[in-house]
Amino acid sequence: MLRPQDNRTRESKRLDGRWSFRFDQNDVGRTERWYATPLADAREMAVPSSYNDIFTTQAEREHVGAVWYQRDVFVPRGWADQRILVHFEAVTHTAAVYVNDHEVVAHRGGYLPFEVDITDRVTAGAPARISVRVDNTLTWQTIPPGVIETTAAGEQAQRYFHDFFNYAGIHRSVWLMARPHHSIDDITIVTGLDGTTGLVDYSVAAGSAGGEIEVTLRDARGSVVAEATGAAGRLTVNDAELWGIGRGYLYELCARLAVDGELVDEYRLPVGIRTVAIDGTQLLLNGEPVHLRGFGMHEDHVTLGKGHNDAMWLRDIECLKWIGANSFRTSHYPYSEDVLDLADREGILVIDETPAVGMNAGIAGGIFSQETYATFSDDTINGDTQAFHADVIRDLIARDKNHPSVVIWSIANEPESDTEAAEQYFRPLVDVARTSDPQRRPVGFVNVMLAPHGRCRVTPMCDLVMINRYWGWYVQTGDLDSAMVAARAELEGWAGDGKPIIITEYGADTQPGMHSLPADPWSEEYQVDYLDAMHAVFDEIPAVVGEHIWNFADFATRSGIMRVGGNKKGVFTRDRQPKTAAHVVRRRWRGGLDPRVTQSQVGACSD
């Protein structure tokens, strides 16, 4: 699915702003046909935004089930001969969309786009009413999973097993768009290198109605560097400018569909020429070893929740550059495509993750000491969940396959991975990821400390080792000497497998402004000492090719005895101000202390 775009053949209208909004406490909206009339008793709601933190009562903030959004839109008069579509970048978690009196599409999954052709339901030059039923319920068959439990007070409550607040709503932009009837449906790019020559293999899908395809590749100054005709082929670029860390050099591919010499449709796509490969324990970008420095992040902000906001993300990118990060993981779900575009332009590497998080009864029961379930069983995560998980992997890769910034796929975060059931669940999914990506990027998942080296049955299927470890925090709490011993022992074990290792999470909750000498957990001093200790161990193990601190910034979680006003492992506060540790990490990542940072990898830094 190609993103909405304005060009000579396509037009779009962003439907962001204030929509009418109503809670559907008793789930009667569908039977009472709330979509068929202006939404009664409506309040206003911002799109894009989570609705939760707009409200002041717990019942509204933690509402479980359906809510409705509605707005009128005027369909431009000039769109009469075009296909008209409505495109949602992300609705969390389940959406049913109605245009005037008709349901036009239903979609499961809160972090990926969907669209539907509504040409037959609307009239150019006339208004249309768009209503969306949004449901935040998580079940064993959703990704991420959850379960509805009845509280002691007899109320229905959503239980979920991941450590971030279950924000819901229309989280990213909504578009009304016009596209030619006969159109370009998809473009796939695979780049390679032959010496200094860049190779851009392209394929353009444009339905079965025939026509000629032409493609042009322009450099960043707009000069044509290569051209070709045909639905698939290779463009060669002499002395190609490579896409690299801190150097998000982008060419632009323009694909045109013509019938009898007449332009029918066109689409423009940024293209970064780069290669990604694994060689033994090294991760190679353009044939050179890279060391990932950065964070697991969250789309999370005060009031907006998970609503996308350009200003907030520009600030995040500036903070990443300031601290000298060259990469991040889209923990724990696919981020807005605007974020990946930014990463493409800035030359930041991305580990792109599915929303498969919280699939681990061991963590739910063990760490959080709650009633637990079997992770995999007929009644919990089962074959239906697996089929949906496979669809989500395919959809993620279909959406993000052309981004040069995306260098690794993570198909899940911290699932149960030490059992036979886990092996059976994940084996086909690793294959789905491998076969879905035309670029064959490395595929992995993020391993939890409950399945250490020697016990994990899923990591051996993967191209690299990605592990979250909290030595010195959840275990060996406050005892960094022992934490270093444990870290060294386990990392040496993984290193023996001969694959690159990325520490995808390590961190310590830190209350900003809390100081203690000697350093005690939760203090700013402890976060500094903890990170120094971990970095000292990582530097001893050559197979460790990446360090992603958990987390970039403090973020909202459900309430509980493990969290004080959310998760405080941020190196930045929730409003993106540095804790003490940020300055220490900055010195390491900007080249001062990390012996493995080469000049080419410091590119993302700015003063």
**Residues annotated as part of the active site:** 414, 505
Dihedral-angle region of residue 53 (phi above 0 means left; psi in -120 to 50 means alpha; beta otherwise): alpha
How distant, in Å, are the alpha carbons of 351, 352, 529 from that of 297?
11, 11, 21
CB of 162 to ligand GCB, least distance (A): 6
Give the distance between the most distant pair of CA atoms in the chain.
Answer: 78
Residues between 327 and 346 with contacts to ligand GCB, criterion CB under 6 A: 332
User: Is 68 or 160 the residue whose CB approaches ligand GCB more closely?
Assistant: 160
* Candidate residues 52, 385, 413, 459; the one interacting with ligand GCB per rule CB under 6 A: 413
Q: Where are the beta strands (DSSP E) in 448-493?
A: 465-468
Min. distance of Cβ 332 from ligand GCB in angstroms? 6
User: Rounded to whole angstroms, what are the CA distances from 492 to 272, 283, 486?
Assistant: 35, 18, 10
Alpha-carbon distance of 370 to 483, in angstroms, equals 26
Nearer to ligand GCB, 471 or 550 (CB): 550
**Spatial contact of 389 and 429, defined as CB atoms under 8 Å apart:** yes
Q: Is residue 505 a contact point for ligand GCB (CB under 6 A)?
A: yes
| 353 is a site residue for ligand GCB (CB under 6 A) | no
Nearest-approach distance from CB 308 to ligand GCB, in angstroms: 20
- DSSP E strand boundaries for 315-375: 327-329, 349-353
Sign of CA dihedral 489, 490, 492, 496: positive
Which residues lie closer than 8 Å to 489 by C-beta, 6 or more apart? none
CB of 560 to ligand GCB, least distance (A): 11
How far apart are CB 542 and ligand GCB at their closest, in Å?
25
Does residue 468 bind ligand GCB (CB under 6 A)? Answer: yes
Cβ closest to ligand GCB, residue 274 vs residue 332: 332
Q: Give every CB contact of residue 559 below 8 A, 6+ residues apart in sequence.
A: none
DSSP characters for 121-162?
A: G--TTSEEEEEEEEE----TTSSS-EEEEE-TTS-EEEEE-S
Can residue 275 be called a binding residue for ligand GCB (CB under 6 A)? no
- Residue closer to ligand GCB, measured from CB, 375 or 413: 413
Instruction: In whole angstroms, give the CA distance from residue 517 to residue 43.
Output: 51
| Shortest CB 301 distance to ligand GCB, Å | 17
**Choice from 20, 70, 137, 567 touching ligand GCB (CB under 6 A):** 567
* Nearest Cα to Cα of residue 432 among 376, 467, 387, 495: 387
Closer Cβ to ligand GCB, 332 or 579, answer by number: 332
| CB contact set of 57 (below 8 Å; sequence gap of 6+) | none
In angstroms, the CA 579 to CA 564 distance is 16
**Helix (H/G/I), strand (E/B), else coil: 492:** helix
Smallest Cα–Cα separation from 215: which of 260, 271, 177? 271
- Does residue 490 interact with ligand GCB by CB under 6 A? no
Beta-sheet strand order (sheet of 127-135): 43-47, 17-24, 66-74, 127-135, 94-99, 102-108
- Residue 414 found at the interface with ligand GCB (CB under 6 A): yes
* Binding of residue 299 to ligand GCB (CB under 6 A): no
Candidates 533, 541, 537, 571; CA nearest to 555 is 571
CB of 69 to ligand GCB, least distance (A): 28
Q: Does 569 bind ligand GCB (CB under 6 A)?
A: yes
How is residue 361 written in tokens? Answer: 């009864």
Contact string (CB under 6 A) for ligand GCB, positions 416-455, x = contact: ----------------------------------------
Contact 92, 134 (CB under 8 A): yes
Closest approach of Cβ 452 to ligand GCB, in Å?
Answer: 14
Q: Closer to ligand GCB by CB, 324 or 570: give it.
A: 570
The residue nearest ligand GCB at its CB is 163
Identity of the residue, 276 or 361, whose beta carbon is nearer to ligand GCB in the bound complex:
361
Instruction: CB nearer to ligand GCB: give 248 or 570.
Output: 570
Note whether 550 binds ligand GCB by CB under 6 A.
yes
Pick one of 11, 24, 115, 163: the residue that binds ligand GCB (CB under 6 A): 163
CB of 372 to ligand GCB, least distance (A): 17
Nearer to ligand GCB, 270 or 570 (CB): 570
Using the CB atoms, write b or e for 288-307: b if 16+ within 10 Å.
Answer: ebbbbbbbbbbbbbeebbbb
Is 375 a binder of ligand GCB (CB under 6 A)? Answer: no
The residue ranges that bind ligand GCB (CB under 6 A) are 163, 332, 413-414, 468, 505, 550, 567, 569
